[in-house]
Structure 1
Amino acid sequence: MAALIMSKDYGDGNRRKPLKVTSAALETRLWAWIQAVESQNVCLSRKLIRMKASDILRELRDAWELGFSDG
């Protein structure tokens, strides 16, 4: 199901609101997670996908906020 939704043919461009990618890293990691879970024949709900996306986003933000001193 997720593969269908992620395909370019889904909705034939007639969506009310076009999908926006705000973070390529988030999308890549979330898509990999969805594929891994669905390969185990687990049906994912929208709520669960949103929860995982929030977790991944939090991890990505933590990585960006990590700072290093020059010396």
Structure 2
Amino acid sequence: MLLILPLVLLLVLKLANVWIFGTMSWWWFIGLAVLVFLWFEFFERMLGMDKRKDIAHYEKMQQERVKRQFDKKTGRR
């Protein structure tokens, strides 16, 4: 996500011809877009970041389920 925001911001500045961004070559934007693509398709998987998010999400769901069951059995709300 941190790579997509600068890409969108630079693209908006380029299209609005703001300051020096209006004269920048389109290759900068293409290069940044390729970098974003490579990050999300390859590097994130290689570093295991996609799995960590999934595991954290499932662990949180499991903890909430255990807490609900415990509260149900003890009569707490």
TM over 0.5: no
The one of the two structures with greater contact order (alpha-carbon pairs below 8 A, sep at least 6) is: 1
Q: TM-score when scaled to structure 1? A: 0.37
Q: Which one has a larger percent helix, Structure 1 or Structure 2?
A: 2
